[in-house]
Amino acid sequence: MSPESLSQWLCDLAQLTIASVHPDNLFAEQLPAPGRKTLVVGAGKASAAMAAALERAWYQQYPQADISGVVVTRYGHAAQCEKIEVLEAAHPMPDNLGEQAAKRMLASVEALGEEDLVLALVSGGGSALMSLPAPGLTLQQKQSINKALLRSGAPICEINTVRRHLSAIKGGRLAAAAHPARVVTYLISDVPGDDPTLIASGPTLPDNTTAADALEILLRYQINLEPEVRAHLEAATESPRPDDAGFARDQSVMLAKAADALEAARSAALAAGVEVRVLGDDLEGEARELGAAHAAMALDVQEELRQPLLILSGGETSVTVTGNGRGGRNVEYLLGLFDGLKGAPGIYGLAIDTDGIDGSEDNAGASFVPDDWTKMQSQGLQPTTYLANNDAYSFFAELGNLIVIGPTRTNVNDFRAILVLPVVDN
């Protein structure tokens, strides 16, 4: 096959993985019996598609039982619903529309009784999309801390620990407001390890972390704290705990996760006669450093190959921002990989965010073929220069290698694929 055909095969494989974790077919036989009143709430990049899929499945199973509610998703990620209202707000930096959506969700569940049912649709991105500050704090304070944490290189588990303890809705507070109604939470995981309490900062699940944990994280990353923020955390107003009796009847259902997407890719590659090595669905760390490490691995395994090998991984890397360029963690990973390979023949790479948006740009990620190293040199581009400026988006734009697919309306985080062909002896 030509380099172009192999690159297209990787792109097709990425699309297949996204389809495997799309909400459209995830609700079959997953629905509880209706409550006296059944209310839907939700937040995340996949929440609108989850709401549309839930509506279809619900009325097929319970044609006489009405549902209603409201979910919030990222701008451009909406889906058509008949009974559930879909709102849009900003991500990754929260805005006042996300704050208003959170207020509406809290208000909608506060008068429910023991015979009522809440269906919560939770997916990655929900933390920013329903950013309701704790009493005494402002949205501007949360925005400032969120921006600083995103630039610090902190892993998502630590970022969401802070978010939970500065919020009036996260860390189980939405469910606590709904009790004594029963709450069933449907999740699409975008976090390494698939801990349900970390997805969208766990608005309907009890919290194992403390305010002291959040304060320690902020101090360790040297995040500037206004007096009100420090005072709030030092007062140790905790989230609902796992032993809270109000959660006894609640349930959570994991609909999709990164491991499911990787398994779909693995199965497709094996069917095509390609060997597969899955490095894991929960890889973290500095994006460019992980890319460089994977380059060394690919070069090492290539020496012993007798047939093509596909190296797969998922998870969520971090980017410590020191420059002022454009780029997300997937293109930064890919540029670290590309620079480490230095045009090694027979090695192809792709990295995308499964939600279709890499950070805050318009691309899902990018890909490369071995000949792109020569193309890069002819254009006078230097990977190290672009990495120093956190400008991987511009680098791959110059090569014409950005992958732009638009919002996918699902989200199991990063999908990375390296195709390694055997060395051909001359």
Q: What is the pLDDT of residues 148-163, one digit of tens each?
A: 998 898 888 899 899 9
pLDDT tens, position by position, for the chain (426 residues)? 788 899 999 999 999 999 999 999 898 777 999 999 999 999 999 999 999 999 999 999 999 999 999 999 999 999 999 999 999 999 988 999 999 999 999 999 999 999 999 999 999 999 999 999 999 999 999 999 989 998 898 888 899 899 999 999 999 999 999 999 999 999 999 998 999 999 999 999 999 999 999 999 999 999 999 999 999 999 988 999 999 999 999 999 999 999 999 999 999 999 999 999 999 999 999 999 999 999 999 999 999 999 999 999 999 999 999 999 999 999 999 999 999 999 999 999 999 999 999 988 999 999 999 999 999 999 999 999 999 999 999 999 999 999 999 999 999 999 999 999 998 765
CB 7 within 8 A of CB 363: no
pTM score of the predicted model: 0.92
pLDDT of residue 73: 98
pLDDT of residue 425: 65
Distance CA 404, CA 168 (A): 36
Q: Are strands 117-123 and 182-188 parallel, antiparallel or unpaired?
A: parallel
Q: pLDDT tens-digit profile of 306-342? A: 999 999 999 999 999 999 999 999 999 999 999 999 9
pLDDT of residue 407: 96
C-alpha to C-alpha distances, 141 to 12, 94, 102, 220, 242, nearest whole angstrom: 42, 11, 17, 18, 28
- 388-404 burial, b if ≥16 CB within 10 A, otherwise e? ebbbbbbbbbebebbbe
Q: What stretches of 35-78 adopt beta strand conformation (E)?
A: 38-43, 67-74
pLDDT of residue 93: 86
Q: Are strands 402-403 and 84-89 parallel, antiparallel or unpaired?
A: unpaired
CB 209 within 8 A of CB 165: yes
- Other CB atoms closer than 10 Å to residue 219's CB: what's the count? 12
Residues paired with residue 310 on neighbouring β-strands, in sequence order: 276, 419
